[in-house]
Protein backbone atom coordinates (compact mmCIF):
# COMPACT_ATOMS: atom_id res chain seq x y z
CA UNK A 1 0.00 0.00 0.00
CA UNK A 2 2.86 2.37 0.84
CA UNK A 3 4.54 1.62 -2.47
CA UNK A 4 1.28 2.35 -4.30
CA UNK A 5 0.97 5.74 -2.57
CA UNK A 6 4.59 6.55 -3.45
CA UNK A 7 4.02 5.67 -7.08
CA UNK A 8 0.83 7.75 -7.12
CA UNK A 9 2.65 10.80 -5.74
CA UNK A 10 5.48 10.33 -8.25
CA UNK A 11 2.92 10.33 -11.07
CA UNK A 12 1.45 13.57 -9.73
CA UNK A 13 4.91 15.15 -9.66
CA UNK A 14 5.47 14.12 -13.29
CA UNK A 15 2.09 15.57 -14.24
CA UNK A 16 2.68 18.91 -12.54
CA UNK A 17 6.13 19.14 -14.17
CA UNK A 18 4.74 18.24 -17.62
CA UNK A 19 6.46 14.87 -17.99
CA UNK A 20 3.39 12.70 -18.84
CA UNK A 21 1.59 12.00 -22.08
CA UNK A 22 -1.66 13.79 -22.99
CA UNK A 23 -3.63 10.58 -22.44
CA UNK A 24 -2.19 10.04 -18.97
CA UNK A 25 -2.68 13.73 -18.14
CA UNK A 26 -6.40 13.43 -18.90
CA UNK A 27 -6.67 10.32 -16.72
CA UNK A 28 -4.89 12.04 -13.82
CA UNK A 29 -7.03 15.14 -14.19
CA UNK A 30 -10.20 13.05 -13.73
CA UNK A 31 -8.70 11.22 -10.73
CA UNK A 32 -7.66 14.47 -9.05
CA UNK A 33 -11.10 15.99 -9.57
CA UNK A 34 -12.73 13.11 -7.70
CA UNK A 35 -10.11 12.60 -4.94
CA UNK A 36 -9.69 15.26 -2.26
CA UNK A 37 -6.27 13.98 -1.11
CA UNK A 38 -4.85 13.91 -4.63
CA UNK A 39 -6.29 17.40 -5.24
CA UNK A 40 -4.53 18.75 -2.12
CA UNK A 41 -1.26 17.12 -3.19
CA UNK A 42 -1.47 18.74 -6.62
CA UNK A 43 -2.17 22.15 -5.12
CA UNK A 44 0.88 21.78 -2.87
CA UNK A 45 3.10 20.64 -5.76
CA UNK A 46 2.02 23.55 -7.94
CA UNK A 47 2.68 26.05 -5.13
CA UNK A 48 6.09 24.51 -4.53
CA UNK A 49 6.92 24.73 -8.25
CA UNK A 50 6.00 28.44 -8.33
CA UNK A 51 8.16 29.19 -5.28
CA UNK A 52 11.09 27.23 -6.76
CA UNK A 53 10.92 29.16 -10.03
CA UNK A 54 10.90 32.49 -8.18
CA UNK A 55 13.77 31.61 -5.88
CA UNK A 56 17.27 32.70 -6.95
CA UNK A 57 20.28 31.60 -4.92
CA UNK A 58 23.07 34.14 -5.34
CA UNK A 59 26.50 34.69 -3.86
CA UNK A 60 26.43 35.94 -0.27
CA UNK A 61 27.46 39.57 0.36
CA UNK A 62 31.08 40.13 1.48
CA UNK A 63 30.19 40.56 5.15
CA UNK A 64 28.32 37.23 5.18
CA UNK A 65 31.19 35.48 3.39
CA UNK A 66 33.68 36.89 5.92
CA UNK A 67 31.51 35.64 8.77
CA UNK A 68 31.38 32.16 7.23
CA UNK A 69 35.18 32.14 6.84
CA UNK A 70 35.61 33.15 10.48
CA UNK A 71 33.25 30.41 11.61
CA UNK A 72 35.07 27.84 9.51
CA UNK A 73 38.41 28.87 11.02
CA UNK A 74 36.88 28.55 14.49
CA UNK A 75 35.60 25.08 13.55
CA UNK A 76 39.03 24.05 12.23
CA UNK A 77 40.72 25.33 15.39
CA UNK A 78 38.22 23.45 17.53
CA UNK A 79 38.84 20.32 15.52
CA UNK A 80 42.57 20.73 16.06
CA UNK A 81 42.11 21.16 19.81
CA UNK A 82 39.79 18.18 20.02
CA UNK A 83 42.51 15.84 18.79
CA UNK A 84 40.74 14.72 15.62
CA UNK A 85 43.75 15.65 13.47
CA UNK A 86 46.70 13.34 13.00
CA UNK A 87 49.71 15.31 14.20
CA UNK A 88 53.22 14.49 12.99
CA UNK A 89 56.59 16.19 13.40
CA UNK A 90 58.58 16.19 10.16
CA UNK A 91 62.28 15.30 10.18
CA UNK A 92 64.83 17.58 8.54
CA UNK A 93 66.46 15.44 5.85
CA UNK A 94 68.34 18.16 3.98
CA UNK A 95 69.72 21.63 4.75
CA UNK A 96 71.81 23.29 2.05
CA UNK A 97 73.86 25.11 4.74
CA UNK A 98 74.84 21.88 6.48
CA UNK A 99 76.25 18.49 5.60
CA UNK A 100 73.11 16.88 4.11
CA UNK A 101 71.52 13.88 5.72
CA UNK A 102 70.52 10.63 3.99
CA UNK A 103 73.41 10.81 1.55
CA UNK A 104 72.00 13.72 -0.45
CA UNK A 105 74.43 16.02 -2.23
CA UNK A 106 74.49 19.79 -1.83
CA UNK A 107 72.90 21.71 -4.67
CA UNK A 108 75.34 24.58 -4.83
CA UNK A 109 72.74 27.16 -3.85
CA UNK A 110 74.07 30.73 -3.66
CA UNK A 111 74.58 32.37 -0.28
CA UNK A 112 71.37 34.39 -0.68
CA UNK A 113 69.38 31.15 -0.84
CA UNK A 114 68.81 28.27 1.55
CA UNK A 115 67.00 25.03 0.95
CA UNK A 116 65.36 22.64 3.41
CA UNK A 117 63.70 19.28 2.85
CA UNK A 118 61.47 17.80 5.58
CA UNK A 119 60.12 14.25 5.58
CA UNK A 120 57.17 12.69 7.39
CA UNK A 121 54.79 9.75 7.07
CA UNK A 122 52.12 12.11 5.72
CA UNK A 123 54.05 14.29 3.27
CA UNK A 124 57.47 15.59 2.30
CA UNK A 125 57.85 19.37 2.33
CA UNK A 126 60.49 21.51 0.62
CA UNK A 127 61.31 25.02 1.80
CA UNK A 128 63.32 27.53 -0.24
CA UNK A 129 64.41 30.82 1.32
CA UNK A 130 65.63 33.73 -0.78
CA UNK A 131 67.07 36.74 1.01
CA UNK A 132 66.48 40.12 -0.59
CA UNK A 133 69.65 42.19 -0.81
CA UNK A 134 67.89 45.54 -0.57
CA UNK A 135 66.17 45.05 2.80
CA UNK A 136 67.53 41.83 4.34
CA UNK A 137 64.09 40.19 4.44
CA UNK A 138 63.45 36.79 2.92
CA UNK A 139 60.79 35.27 0.69
CA UNK A 140 59.82 31.73 1.61
CA UNK A 141 58.62 29.30 -1.03
CA UNK A 142 57.35 25.85 -0.06
CA UNK A 143 55.80 22.81 -1.67
CA UNK A 144 53.99 19.85 -0.11
CA UNK A 145 54.30 16.35 -1.56
CA UNK A 146 51.73 14.00 0.08
CA UNK A 147 52.92 10.39 0.26
CA UNK A 148 49.44 8.81 0.20
CA UNK A 149 47.97 10.38 -2.92
CA UNK A 150 46.14 13.16 -1.07
CA UNK A 151 45.41 16.21 -3.20
CA UNK A 152 48.29 18.63 -2.45
CA UNK A 153 45.87 21.52 -2.96
CA UNK A 154 43.93 20.33 0.10
CA UNK A 155 46.60 21.69 2.44
CA UNK A 156 47.09 25.08 4.04
CA UNK A 157 50.28 26.45 5.56
CA UNK A 158 51.01 28.59 8.60
CA UNK A 159 54.22 30.40 9.52
CA UNK A 160 54.84 30.67 13.27
CA UNK A 161 57.34 32.72 15.26
CA UNK A 162 57.33 33.83 18.90
CA UNK A 163 58.15 37.40 17.91
CA UNK A 164 55.39 37.88 15.33
CA UNK A 165 51.79 36.99 14.63
CA UNK A 166 51.09 33.73 12.80
CA UNK A 167 50.54 34.07 9.06
CA UNK A 168 48.33 31.64 7.15
CA UNK A 169 48.07 30.88 3.45
CA UNK A 170 46.62 28.21 1.17
CA UNK A 171 48.38 25.94 -1.29
CA UNK A 172 47.67 25.88 -4.99
CA UNK A 173 46.74 22.68 -6.82
CA UNK A 174 50.45 21.76 -6.99
CA UNK A 175 50.85 22.04 -3.22
CA UNK A 176 52.89 25.25 -3.51
CA UNK A 177 52.71 28.10 -0.99
CA UNK A 178 54.72 31.19 -0.14
CA UNK A 179 55.28 33.85 2.50
CA UNK A 180 56.85 37.19 1.59
CA UNK A 181 58.95 39.69 3.56
CA UNK A 182 59.96 37.26 6.31
CA UNK A 183 62.25 38.91 8.93
CA UNK A 184 65.34 37.10 10.27
CA UNK A 185 64.46 34.56 12.96
CA UNK A 186 63.70 30.91 13.58
CA UNK A 187 60.28 29.73 12.47
CA UNK A 188 57.97 26.77 12.49
CA UNK A 189 55.83 25.90 9.50
CA UNK A 190 52.56 24.01 9.93
CA UNK A 191 51.20 22.19 6.88
CA UNK A 192 47.57 21.31 7.58
CA UNK A 193 44.77 19.44 5.87
CA UNK A 194 41.44 18.31 7.30
CA UNK A 195 43.11 15.01 8.22
CA UNK A 196 46.64 15.85 9.36
CA UNK A 197 48.93 18.52 10.77
CA UNK A 198 52.65 18.41 9.88
CA UNK A 199 55.04 20.48 12.01
CA UNK A 200 58.34 21.69 10.54
CA UNK A 201 60.69 23.20 13.09
CA UNK A 202 64.01 25.01 12.81
CA UNK A 203 63.31 26.98 9.64
CA UNK A 204 65.99 29.63 10.18
CA UNK A 205 66.01 32.90 8.28
CA UNK A 206 69.35 34.63 8.50
CA UNK A 207 70.15 38.14 7.41
CA UNK A 208 72.29 37.90 4.30
CA UNK A 209 72.30 34.06 4.41
Per residue of the chain (209 residues), give pLDDT as tens.
Answer: 444 555 677 788 788 878 888 888 888 888 888 888 778 777 777 766 665 555 444 555 666 556 655 555 555 565 555 556 688 999 999 988 875 444 444 444 445 689 999 999 999 999 999 998 888 899 999 999 998 777 777 788 999 988 666 788 888 888 899 999 999 999 999 998 888 889 999 999 987 65
Taking Cα atoms as reference points, which of 133, 148, 165, 152 lies closest to residue 191? 152
Asked whether 166 and 160 are in contact (CB, 8 A), the reply is yes
Domain range annotation of the chain: 2-54, 73-205
Report the C-alpha gap between 128 and 1 in whole angstroms: 69
As a residue count, the chain comes to: 209
**How many Cβ atoms sit within 10 Å of the Cβ of residue 143?**
20
Asked whether 146 and 152 are in contact (CB, 8 A), the reply is yes
Task: List the beta bridge partners of residue 203.
Answer: 187
Q: Which CATH number fits domain 73-205: 2.60.40, 1.10.10, 3.30.70, 1.10.287?
A: 2.60.40
Amino acid sequence: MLESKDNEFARLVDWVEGRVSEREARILEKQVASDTTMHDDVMWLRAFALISEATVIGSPPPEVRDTLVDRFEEYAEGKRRSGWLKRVVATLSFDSNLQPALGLRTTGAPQSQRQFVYSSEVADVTINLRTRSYDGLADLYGQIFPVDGTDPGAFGAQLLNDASEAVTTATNDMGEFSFGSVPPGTYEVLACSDQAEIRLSGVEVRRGM
